[in-house]
C-alpha cells in the first residue's frame, strides 16, 4: 500500500478488473489532475476480513486482487505519470466498502457495470446502490464514453434543475465542474403539464402551453440567479422542456457531464434514487454525477 497523500483532496475510483472500472479509473485520474488532487484506487475484497482490520496489505491479497489494483494503477500512470496514486483493498462488500471509503474523498468515480453485470444492462447493481447511498458525489462513467472523451472533455455540463425547489448543492457542484472545465452550464428544467389537462383528454391548447412554459422559464431564471452571480465566468444556457428525465437524457448527447441530485437521508434504508436520477443513470450518453443534498 502506498503512503497516503498530503494533498488536500482525493478523488476515489472503485476498480474490479472490468473494462468499465478501468474507464472509471482513467476518468477519475483526469479529474484528480484537473483538481490538483490525489487519486485513490479501491478494490473491495470481503473474504479476507477478520472483523478488526479495515484494509489489507498487498502481500495478504490473492494474486487476482493484486493484479487488479496493479493493472488499474499502471493504466492511470501511463497517462498521468506525475499523479500521486494510492491503491487500497477494502475488506468489505463492494457497496459498503466503497461508501465508507468515499467518506473522506472529494468524489467517487465508478464504472457503469462491474464483473457481474449482464451484457445488456447499462448500470450495475453496485453502481446504482453506491450512487443511492454515498455521502459524496458519485460519477458513473461508461467505457464507451471514456474511450471517446478520455478526460471529461470541455463540452457542456448539463444539470437538472427543479425550478420550483432548486437545490443549492446540486447547482454549486455543476457550476464548479463547468468552471474547472472551461465549459458552459446547460440548466435543464423539465416540467409537466398540470394533471387537469390529462384528465380532460384531447389536445392541450397551444396558448396554455406557451403560458405555462413562460412561467417555468421565469422560475428557472430566478433559480439560477445566485449561482450565476457566484460564477460570472461560467456561461449558462437556460433550457426549459417538457419531461424532466427525457429532457436530461436528450441534453446528455455531447455533454462532458450530466449532474442530477439525490436526497441524502441520515437513516440507511437502502438506495434513494428518484425517478429522474434513475432514468438518467440508465440512459444518459455522458458520465452522470449524482450529488446528495438535504
pLDDT value at position 154?
A: 62
CA distance 174 to 167: 11
Domains of the chain and any CATH numbers: 10-144 (3.40.50.620), 157-293 (3.40.50.12370)
Strand pairing class (85-90; 55-56): antiparallel
Q: What sign for the dihedral angle of Cα 203, 209, 212, 213?
A: positive
* Average pLDDT taken over every residue of the chain: 82
Mean pLDDT of 93-113: 90
Instruction: Tell which phi-psi region holds residue 42, choosing left (phi > 0), alpha (psi between -120 and 50) or beta.
Output: beta
Mean pLDDT of 20-29: 92
Interval 214-250: pLDDT, tens: 999 999 999 999 999 999 999 999 999 988 899 999 9
Enter the DSSP assignment of 112.
Answer: S
Helix ranges, the chain (H): 19-35, 63-79, 94-101, 125-133, 143-149, 168-181, 195-200, 206-230, 244-251, 275-283
pLDDT value at position 292?
A: 94
What cell does 126 get?
Answer: 453496485
- pLDDT over 70 at 267, yes or no: no
Mean pLDDT of 74-83: 94
Of residues 233 and 272, the one with the higher pLDDT is 233
- pLDDT over 60 at 125, yes or no: yes
Amino acid at each position: 500500500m502506498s503512503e497516503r497523500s498530503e494533498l488536500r483532496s482525493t478523488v476515489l475510483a472503485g476498480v474490479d478488473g472490468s473494462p468499465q472500472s478501468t474507464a472509471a479509473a482513467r476518468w477519475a485520474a483526469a479529474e484528480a489532475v484537473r483538481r490538483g488532487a490525489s487519486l485513490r484506487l479501491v478494490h473491495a475484497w470481503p473474504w479476507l476480513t477478520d472483523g478488526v482490520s479495515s484494509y489489507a496489505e498487498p502481500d495478504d491479497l490473492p494474486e487476482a486482487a493484486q493484479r487488479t489494483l496493479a493493472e488499474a494503477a499502471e493504466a492511470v500512470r501511463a497517462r498521468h505519470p506525475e499523479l500521486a496514486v494510492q491503491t487500497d483493498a477494502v475488506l468489505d462488500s463492494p457497496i459498503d466498502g466503497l461508501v465508507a471509503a468515499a467518506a473522506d474523498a472529494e468524489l467517487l468515480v465508478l464504472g457503469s457495470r462491474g464483473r457481474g453485470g449482464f451484457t445488456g444492462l447499462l448500470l450495475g447493481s453496485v453502481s446504482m446502490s453506491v450512487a443511492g447511498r454515498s455521502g459524496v458525489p458519485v460519477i458513473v462513467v461508461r467505457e464507451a464514453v471514456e474511450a471517446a472523451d478520455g478526460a471529461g472533455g470541455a463540452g457542456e455540463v448539463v444539470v437538472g434543475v427543479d425550478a420550483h425547489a432548486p437545490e443549492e448543492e446540486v447547482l454549486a457542484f455543476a457550476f464548479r465542474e463547468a468552471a474547472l472545465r472551461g465549459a458552459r452550464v446547460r440548466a435543464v428544467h423539465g416540467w409537466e403539464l398540470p394533471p387537469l389537462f390529462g384528465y380532460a383528454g384531447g389536445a392541450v391548447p397551444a396558448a396554455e402551453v406557451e403560458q405555462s412554459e413562460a412561467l417555468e422559464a421565469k422560475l428557472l431564471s430566478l433559480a439560477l440567479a445566485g449561482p450565476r452571480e457566484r460564477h460570472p465566468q461560467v456561461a449558462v444556457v437556460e433550457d426549459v422542456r417538457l419531461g424532466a428525465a427525457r429532457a436530461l437524457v436528450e441534453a446528455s448527447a455531447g455533454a462532458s457531464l450530466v449532474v442530477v441530485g439525490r436526497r441524502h437521508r441520515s437513516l440507511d434504508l437502502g438506495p434513494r434514487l428518484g425517478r429522474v436520477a434513475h432514468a438518467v443513470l440508465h440512459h444518459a450518453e455522458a458520465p452522470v454525477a449524482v450529488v446528495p443534498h438535504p
